[in-house]
Structure 1
Amino acid sequence: MSDRMRKILLVCATAFLVVSAVAGQAHFLLNLNVRVFHIEHTSDGLRIFLRVPMPYLVADKTGAPGEDGLPSAAPFTTNAIEDGQVVHFIDLSEFVTDPLGLGQIVETGTVLTAQDTRFPGVVESVSVHRVGEEPGFATLKEAQQSIAQGSTLQVSPPTYVGDVVVDVVVYYPLGYAPSAYTLASLLDPGLPDQEMTANLILDYGSGDPLVFRTRGLMKEPVAVSRSRLAGITTFVWEGVRHILEGIDHVLFVICLVIGARGLHSLLWRVTGFTVGHSVTLSLGFFGYVPSGAWFVPFVETGIALSIIYAAFLAVLADSAEASSGKKVFVITVLMGLLHGLGFSFVLHEILQVTSPNIWQSLLAFNVGVEVGQLAIVLVTWPLLSLFARLGPTPEMSLRVSVAIGCGAVASWWAFERGKSFLELL
């Protein structure tokens, strides 16, 4: 067998394994990828009220397939085959037999450290709910009420694991009341997009509760203290990450920058975008927008079209483009309104309207968006200025090339998102 053939077979085999792994995980796709930690301080320790989607606890605990093609079931689950796919349901009979078992998985996978010492926890309560029917969990009071209410999940009809959230209370007897501690997780369920997990940590020490935000599996410990600045910083960083990781927002800001013919024009554009998205970020987050399923793809389609328009403006002749700085301001405000709605969608995933210090968190997230936007400007503008020194032709060539690239990508997004929007009408 030739080396080339071996390489082809190796690639095919690798692709097969990847596809098989994805297929095997398909039944664990999440309806929710948010974990909420409420930390209650006591005179001698900490009590954690945690809401976590059930797949985070069991997705990595299935066994090898048997003769029937079904893997051995993970704890608190049963298996079946639907349409050729292995699916998993919660096994409420096992939950009744071992009501704290899911909590033990949480306790084993949670690392709470204070003064360089890891403390074990004691599971006090566990309850399970169907996604969409779960009690409120935005505040410590709501979490306590949810725990007191107990499980709301019914035996019939059977419920997919991906449609279940688990509420767990774990008490950590430290022997003293800590002013600072770290929180980390050892859970690694192998779920698609698990690195995008939104973790919200609310600490209820003396004074107002402080809110901390982090993304991912929390393999790296999150430092929690009574520092209000530390809590705010986590939301600022989330805003930065959102705009820098949101390629559509990045392309739009780049088109704004390359379309400016001077610092004055750049200021009008950036300010207009800031005003626009600040307004709808707040309105969208608080629910003052349509709630139909069509609305999200409608906004996303509008964002794609705004990139195309911004790319068009970027290659206009100077006289046409610079006819009025106020006109450009109005245009970018309108475009910013669309992008602000996009920001509000992601903020909904990490924060609830009834969460403590909501305005503080909202403002910090918005500041993070501005910092991310400024970072894009600080990279793009000097590069454009460098080409401008080489003469009008190199500068225009760069401007047109970037605009065409951004417009082409956005055109494909507009097609895909517009199709989704029309399907939902």
Structure 2
Amino acid sequence: MRILNRSACALLVIVSAACLQVIPDRAAAHFSYSDPRVVHIIETEAGEVAILMRMPAPLALLPGDWQGAADNRLPPFGARVGDQIVLDPRTLRTEEAALHQLLSEGLTIWIDGSNQSATIGRTKLWHDADRPTFGTAKSASKTLDREAPSTLLPYFDTTLDVEFLIADGSLTSPLRITSDLGRNFQVMEQFGTVVKLHRDSGTETRAMIGVLDAEFDGVVTPLQRLVSIAWIGAEHIYLGFDHLAMILLIAIAAISWRQALLWASAFTVGHVVTLAAGLYGYAPQAAWFIPAIELLIVSSIVAAGIAIVLRLPHVMNWPALFVVGLIHGYGFAAAASVALFAGDIDAPALLAFAVGLELCKLVVYLVLLPIIILLDRLVKSNGLRWRMPVALVLAGAASVSVLQQLMQVTGFSVA
């Protein structure tokens, strides 16, 4: 019994420390990181290389030492109207030279190893709730052609679309695009960027968390493109606390490795269904949708952990995990799935993404299941004596995230 208690305590310490490292930090932010920065790189009819970029306006405009909600300074190009800080599109037009210089300094492009100078083309400002779609190169170009509103916009709820133009360049050459924008912002630890390079041979995609740094080789084969998309699917698993937590809960709730893999497949099928739905445009675009989905995702982790602790086997089953997969999939579809695929539905790309998900999940289980079997044998019991504390720790970690998201949505603060 003493050995059992020591083993359980040691396991709790290890898992708790790991959870503390990956729980999302919901500190006061200067822009939302639910929506990714989207970058399209295309070649125009005039033979120029065009980089079409959508990002939160504060990401481009705020100084690098900005302290988030605690900063009392008037941000660049901002004005105070009562208690609100706003952006006036007309003012930005009168200060166009300063804006263009700021945008040019925030981006570096190499083509075939040579640093390229970019000029600023079209720029548009939109309220986050009213911005047009930007998911494909075609829709992004149309958005930049549209007439943007000239009314005052809330500074921290405004989206900036901008076009960078390079006169001499070729998309058949190796290309790298980087930006230091937001490097010192705490929110960048959760902020995603999707870069899409549109070539005649197909569209290549890079996705990252944090500052922008995307590199593309010369023209790639269709197979290399699909492998790249599969890798993005794998990254979606191992970089996400929510998916890793659910995978671990599925593993410790199952009574056999076959059941674990079956339940995990239900989770993946649901995930891919809503990913495809997002690609077809069936993800609601309302401002409430992404926060609601994020809240449901962490709540599902809490519910799964409690079900294990209370020994409720009927809660963890194929249909239930399929529904949980639907929720998790919509969380990704609403934020970034449209940005991962160009134009119409690309079935091979979607399949490659799903294969990447499954392969990464399989690797995780190949690591987890032997450890679970070993722990079960060490404690010489049915495993619930160590599984329940681990489930409780994961549920507790997700509960913290639930509270943080509720505080973020409601604006409540304990400070």
Shared fold (TM-score greater than 0.5)? yes
- Alpha-carbon distance in structure 2 between the residues aligned to 1:417 and 1:97: 39
Tell me: higher relative CO, structure 1 or 2? Use CA pairs within 8 A at least 6 residues apart.
2
- Indicate if the aligned counterparts of 2:138 and 2:343 stay in contact, CA closer than 8 A: no
Give 3-state SS (helix, strand or coil) of 2:238's partner: helix
Residue 21 (structure 2) aligns with: none
Given residue 124 of structure 1, which amino acid in structure 2 is its aligned partner? Answer: G
Residue 271 (structure 1) aligns with: 265
Inter-CA distance 77–169: structure 2 relative to 1 (3 Å threshold): same
Given residue 137 of structure 1, which amino acid in structure 2 is its aligned partner? Answer: F
- CA displacement at 1:180 relative to structure 2: 2.4
Inter-CA distance 280–333: structure 2 relative to 1 (3 Å threshold): farther
- Indicate if the aligned counterparts of 2:33 and 2:187 stay in contact, CA closer than 8 A: no
Correspondence 1:223 to 2:216: yes
Inter-CA distance 127–32: structure 2 relative to 1 (3 Å threshold): farther
How do 1:3-402 and structure 2 match up within 5 A?
28-30=30-32, 33-41=35-43, 45-60=48-63, 71=73, 73-74=75-76, 76-79=77-80, 82=83, 88-99=85-96, 101-150=98-147, 152-155=148-151, 158-174=152-168, 178-188=172-182, 190-218=184-212, 220-223=213-216, 225-227=218-220, 228-229=222-223, 231-233=225-227, 235-283=229-277, 286=280, 288=282, 293=288, 296=293, 297-298=295-296, 300-312=298-310, 331-352=317-338, 355-356=342-343, 358-359=345-346, 360-390=348-378, 392-393=380-381, 395-402=383-390
- Alpha-carbon distance in structure 2 between the residues aligned to 1:231 and 1:299: 30
Inter-CA distance 41–276: structure 2 relative to 1 (3 Å threshold): closer
- Alpha-carbon distance in structure 2 between the residues aligned to 1:50 and 1:284: 21
Inter-CA distance 103–381: structure 2 relative to 1 (3 Å threshold): same
Inter-CA distance 356–215: structure 2 relative to 1 (3 Å threshold): farther
- Alpha-carbon distance in structure 2 between the residues aligned to 1:101 and 1:230: 41
- Alpha-carbon distance in structure 2 between the residues aligned to 1:70 and 1:386: 55
Given residue 301 of structure 1, which amino acid in structure 2 is its aligned partner? Answer: S
Q: What TM-score do the two structures reach when normalised by structure 1? A: 0.72
- Indicate if the aligned counterparts of 1:126 and 1:166 stay in contact, CA closer than 8 A: yes
- Alpha-carbon distance in structure 2 between the residues aligned to 1:215 and 1:308: 31
Q: Which whole-Å deviations, capped at 9, do the CAs of 1:83-137 have from their partners, x for residues lacking one?
A: xxxx532133432213354333222221111222111112222222222222332
| Structure 2 unaligned spans of 5+ | 1-25, 410-415
- Indicate if the aligned counterparts of 1:194 and 1:216 stay in contact, CA closer than 8 A: yes
Compare 228-237 and 94-103 and name the one that shifted more.
Answer: 228-237
- Indicate if the aligned counterparts of 1:213 and 1:231 stay in contact, CA closer than 8 A: no
- Indicate if the aligned counterparts of 1:274 and 1:336 stay in contact, CA closer than 8 A: yes
Q: Which whole-Å deviations, capped at 9, do the CAs of 1:57-102 have from their partners, x for residues lacking one?
A: 11116899xxxx963641x2224672xxxx5321334322133543
- Alpha-carbon distance in structure 1 between the residues aligned to 2:129 and 2:381: 57
Q: What TM-score do the two structures reach when normalised by structure 2? A: 0.74
- Indicate if the aligned counterparts of 1:185 and 1:217 stay in contact, CA closer than 8 A: yes
Given residue 128 of structure 1, which amino acid in structure 2 is its aligned partner? Answer: L
- Alpha-carbon distance in structure 2 between the residues aligned to 1:271 and 1:63: 44
Given residue 153 of structure 1, which amino acid in structure 2 is its aligned partner? Answer: P
- CA displacement at 1:381 relative to structure 2: 1.0
Inter-CA distance 233–96: structure 2 relative to 1 (3 Å threshold): same
| Structure 1 unaligned spans of 5+ | 1-21, 322-326
How many corresponding residue pairs?
A: 374
Who wins on radius of gyration, i.e. which is larger?
A: 1
- CA displacement at 1:233 relative to structure 2: 4.7
- Indicate if the aligned counterparts of 1:124 and 1:171 stay in contact, CA closer than 8 A: yes
Given residue 145 of structure 1, which amino acid in structure 2 is its aligned partner? Answer: K
Q: Which whole-Å deviations, capped at 9, do the CAs of 1:258-295 have from their partners, x for residues lacking one?
A: 34344443343333433344334434664657788485
